[in-house]
Structure formats: structure tokens, C-alpha cells
Amino acid sequence: MRYKVNLKRTDEGYAVWVPGLPGCWSQGRTEEESLENISDAIQSYLKTVEELNRDNDSRYIEIGEVSYA
């Protein structure tokens, strides 16, 4: 899967977050480290969401790529 992430340079390094996953954010001293950290954060986020919803009646849908005019 691919997720869009936003990076912001800070005094401590880089802050990084996923606009499509509210509350999913991380940081790192370098851009590379912050991207590795957000990858771990995304995996943890998705695992937690799956665990919280395991008893719900759920369905999966697939969507195509969204384009903006």
C-alpha cells in the first residue's frame, strides 16, 4: 500500500504525518529516519484499527485512483 505523508523540517529534525490516517504521526532526526519511523507508525496504526474493529460486521471495497481537476 502507498500512503501520502507530509514532512515538515523542525529544529529537532523532521515531523511527519499521514493526512489520510488521523493521529498517525512520527518524527526523526533525518528525512530518511522520519520516513522509516512513519512506516512503522502506519503499520501499528492499521493493526490497532483492525483489532478495534475485529468484532464488527465489515466489508472491503476497492477504489481507483482519485484525480483532481
CATH number of 47's domain: 3.30.160.250
What pLDDT score was predicted for residue 66? Answer: 74
Q: What's the domain count of the chain?
A: 1
31 is a domain residue? yes
What pLDDT score was predicted for residue 58? Answer: 85
Nearest residue to 6 (alpha-carbon basis) of 47, 34, 40: 34
Single pTM value for the model? 0.81
All residue ranges of the chain with pLDDT < 70 are 69
1 is a domain residue? no
What pLDDT score was predicted for residue 69? Answer: 67
Long-range pairs of 14-21 with CB within 8 A, sequence gap ≥ 24: 18/42, 18/45, 21/45, 21/46
